[in-house]
Chains A and B, each alone.
Chain A
Amino acid sequence: MLSEVPPEMIQRVKTLTGIELKDTAEAYQDSIQIQLGILLLQLFDIRQLKAIQQKPDAVAGHSLGIFAAAVAAGVISEDDAIKIVYLRSTEMQKSYPSGYGMGAIVGLTRKEVSTLVTQINSEEQPVFTSNQNSELQTVISGSLEGINKVLALAKDNGAQKTVLLKVPVPSHSPLMQKVANVLEKELSKVELHDPQCTYLANYNGRSSKKVTEVKYDMINNLVHPVYWDTMMDVASELGIDTTLEVQPGQTFTKLVKSKFPDFRTITMKNMSLDDIEFLLEKWKRG
């Protein structure tokens, strides 16, 4: 995954966090390695886009992705983003050693999922309605017991597909409050700037140009659902019609394409920098 990333960036991670990023499938079983690896790849992509003088009108990150988004918007430095993500991933890893996770439900509306979650959620088997990926794709988060019960109910109520995600933590639920508390302490020491472009926030699906909103999102997005679908609605209403997805994948491009078939999309995973520059310039000319 990191083969293109300059060694000095990998070295920088080691200097800042003590973590040696090993670019192997085995290393990526570790959630700290994978989070730092993805962040670094995204920081590298953002550097590349800067090098060809491409500036976004708006940035949108999904969960971990908000840190790269905040860097792209000029809110936080690369170094601080690396340090915060390192802290975030270690805190996440130790927060729930076992018995918790996330599940995804396809084919029911968020409202339908919430009704099922309410039937199951209790102190003994907490489960919450979490990320809103698209109109009919909702993530739930909490105890495995609760999640499995909601997934089974969802199947009975006409969901096309239910999956237990390979995430060992109940992310984007109130169960993550302790991690948010740690991040709040740390982020209060970090120098942040107003975003240079519109920032689409995870925690409430709103657009903002205020540093306070980005900061709140970086501290608290783990406690809230990611309102991705709403973020995309807002982007479209702001006049955005072109998206560029940084590495590693193309998941969000697929979501955008199915929601807005007329959007022009680029995935850095599949395209050379020359091609990206050519396309962006061509589209700008209209």
Chain B
Amino acid sequence: MANRSWTQNRDNKVAKMASISSLLDGKLVKTENAKTLLESIIKPGDKVVLEGDNQKQASFLSETLASVDPEKVHDLHMIMSSVSRPEHLDIFETGIAKKLDFSFAGPQSTRISQMIADGTMEVGDIHTYLELYARLYVDLIPNVVLVAADKVDRDGNLYTGANTEETPVIVESAAFKDGIVIVQANEIVDKVPRVDIPGDWVDIVVPADEPYQLEPLFTRDPQNVTELQILMGMMAIRGIYEKHNVQTVNHGVGFNTAAIELLLPTYGEQLGLKGKIVPNWEVNPTPTLIPAIESGWVKTIHSFGGEVGMENYIAHRPDIFFVGKDGSMRSNRAFGQMAGQYALDMFVGSTLQIDKYGNSSTVTNGRLSGFGGAPNMGSNPHGRRHSTPAWQSLRPDDDPLGKGQKLVVQMVETFGSNKKPVFVDHLDAEEVQKEAKLANVPIMIYSEDTTHIVTEEGIAYLYKTDSMAERQAAIEAIAGVTPVGLRSNPKQLKELRAKGIVALPEDLGVHRSEAKRSLLAAQNMDDLVKWSDGLYNPPAKFRSWS
């Protein structure tokens, strides 16, 4: 054993860095040398993390990686939380990359399905965000990470600002394990506004040819909220938020939850719920929350990422958001997902299909969209030990060693936008499992974790059911005229209502006729800007009035 070196990785890194010393000016590499840099420093078979989630993309580095010579760089094992851009998959066609571990692929779901079916890529596995981040520290430790920053100083200190997102969790996995950290910078500055990542963790900085890609993913125009969604929002507020005394929450990205956000200051106020429900949020800074913030409903918001247009508003509301000394927001996707999994009373989301048992999936038409973060939040964490009134309200009475449960709520209209039933006997995901040869059916939220389903018909309190047959009956009762819903009958419905397992609008004191657009605190984007005192600056594509 005497001759064994215990610093092989470190020595290897030193040698790699030495081999590119001619490209380096301190930590800086010129934009035009980016391709040469990647060709020199990435070795065939390396594990490479390419930063990109559903909002922020290291787009300069991903384009550069796609341009390298496949003779020099090939068979890479890519680790990407989100497969979003065309070149993320092009690199598998050209042989630069071979294997992929990922979390979300919504924007490339057709091509990724084709490439898996054709054997163009080998899939390690499909993860939730948290799982993928976790594996960076265990069995997917990267050799090279490619990330994006807004501003970088000459020492390599990074300012990642409102869109810090997953940069810290990626960089840390490489920086302390002799991986190489390469950063694309929107701008090189003398002094960063604040240090989001210390320069000590950063090896190489390349000024990008243009700013990294950033999508306003969580902006919902109130104009597109329908009266059906308003009705469902009213039911949810009464039958879930109020009933369970919910304090901490995450909302998905759909219009259903946007409706709830816009109903709090109006309908919620009428019910006298202000100050009693949902003060604390783990959610991106969605513009539809502005009225609830301004009218004092929301006390705190921690975010996974930023939202284009909300920067100035957030800067002026540091009591609500997590904001640095410099005045801009700090987000953190890994911590956000952790908070979403462990610290919340409730997750409210939407989905494209729910089967007769209550399992839901966003996979349709053979398109493999992956998981993202929804299952982290839309699942009951078995490791949770702290109690809150909402969590405790789901505790079964008959078990002396029992405990509470997270509220996991699915809000769906019984028919989707394509006029096809959302409630089905079999999920399309079952087909996709076969086509893509996955170990398991890609289910987003399992029935066992789903505590409530809200439709325009009513609410099913699935956590109250004590058999699968009863659970199925509860789902049928609120599934409308879908094939699943047509199995319900008046007698069954009556029994379920009597047991409190199903509630119709009238059981909740919600009047269908009151579900009007005028009930929304903001009717359009202009209203949101007014609520924000002019601090919210909507992206161009949402500025239909100007």
**B76-117, CB < 8 A from A:** 85-86, 107-111, 114
Contact B418 A135 (CB under 8 A): yes
B residues near A207, Cβ cutoff 8 Å: 111
- Cβ of B487 within 8 Å of any chain A Cβ, yes or no, is no
Contact B420 A109 (CB under 8 A): yes
Interface centre among B109, B114, B118 (most CB of A within 10 A): B114
A residues near B86, Cβ cutoff 8 Å: 237-239
- Cβ of A136 within 8 Å of any chain B Cβ, yes or no, is yes
Interface centre among B108, B109, B118 (most CB of A within 10 A): B108
B residues near A107, Cβ cutoff 8 Å: 419
Which of B108, B111, B365 makes the CB contact (< 8 A) with A135? Answer: B365
Question: A207 CA to B111 CA in the complex, in Å?
Answer: 9
Question: A239 CA to B365 CA in the complex, in Å?
Answer: 20
Interface string of B363-399 (1 = CB under 8 A from A): 0010100000000000000000000000000000000
A residues near B418, Cβ cutoff 8 Å: 135-136
**B106-153, CB < 8 A from A:** 107-111, 114, 118
Contact A237 B365 (CB under 8 A): no
Interface string of A194-210 (1 = CB under 8 A from B): 00000000001111000
Tally inter-chain residue pairs, CB-CB below 8 A.
Answer: 29
A residues near B108, Cβ cutoff 8 Å: 237
B residues near A206, Cβ cutoff 8 Å: 114, 118
Which of B110, B118, B419, B420 makes the CB contact (< 8 A) with A234? Answer: B110
- Cβ of A233 within 8 Å of any chain B Cβ, yes or no, is yes
> Considering only CB atoms, which chain A residue lies closest to B107 in the complex?
A237
B residues near A230, Cβ cutoff 8 Å: 110
Interface centre among A107, A136, A204, A233 (most CB of B within 10 A): A233
Interface string of A60-76 (1 = CB under 8 A from B): 00000000000000000
Q: Give chain B's interface residue range (CB within 8 Å of chain A).
A: 10 to 19
> Considering only CB atoms, which chain B residue lies closest to A109 in the complex?
B420
Total A residues in contact with B, Cβ cutoff 8 Å:
14
Least Cβ distance of B52 to chain A in Å?
A: 15
Contact A234 B111 (CB under 8 A): yes
> Considering only CB atoms, which chain A residue lies closest to B365 in the complex?
A135
> Considering only CB atoms, which chain A residue lies closest to B85 in the complex?
A239
A residues near B114, Cβ cutoff 8 Å: 204-206, 234
Least Cβ distance of B348 to chain A in Å?
A: 27
Question: A55 CA to B86 CA in the complex, in Å?
Answer: 20
Least Cβ distance of B542 to chain A in Å?
A: 13
Question: A239 CA to B62 CA in the complex, in Å?
Answer: 15
> Considering only CB atoms, which chain A residue lies closest to B431 in the complex?
A111
Question: A204 CA to B367 CA in the complex, in Å?
Answer: 15
Contact A237 B111 (CB under 8 A): yes
Contact B110 A233 (CB under 8 A): yes
Question: A247 CA to B111 CA in the complex, in Å?
Answer: 29
Question: A140 CA to B107 CA in the complex, in Å?
Answer: 30
> Considering only CB atoms, which chain B residue lies closest to A158 in the complex?
B419
B residues near A136, Cβ cutoff 8 Å: 418-419
Question: A109 CA to B366 CA in the complex, in Å?
Answer: 12
A residues near B367, Cβ cutoff 8 Å: 233
Question: A205 CA to B85 CA in the complex, in Å?
Answer: 19
Interface string of A155-173 (1 = CB under 8 A from B): 0000000000000000000
16 further interface pairs, Cβ-Cβ under 8 Å (given A135-B418, A234-B114): A109-B420, A136-B418, A205-B110, A206-B114, A206-B118, A230-B110, A233-B110, A233-B367, A234-B110, A234-B111, A237-B86, A237-B108, A237-B109, A237-B110, A238-B86, A238-B111
Chain B residues proximal to chain A, CB less than 8 Å: 85-86, 107-111, 114, 118, 365, 367, 418-420
Subset of 25 A-B contacts with CB under 8 Å: A107-B419, A109-B365, A109-B420, A135-B365, A135-B418, A136-B418, A136-B419, A204-B114, A205-B110, A205-B114, A206-B114, A206-B118, A207-B111, A233-B367, A234-B110, A234-B111, A234-B114, A237-B86, A237-B108, A237-B109, A237-B110, A237-B111, A238-B86, A238-B111, A239-B85
Chain A residues proximal to chain B, CB less than 8 Å: 107, 109, 135-136, 204-207, 230, 233-234, 237-239
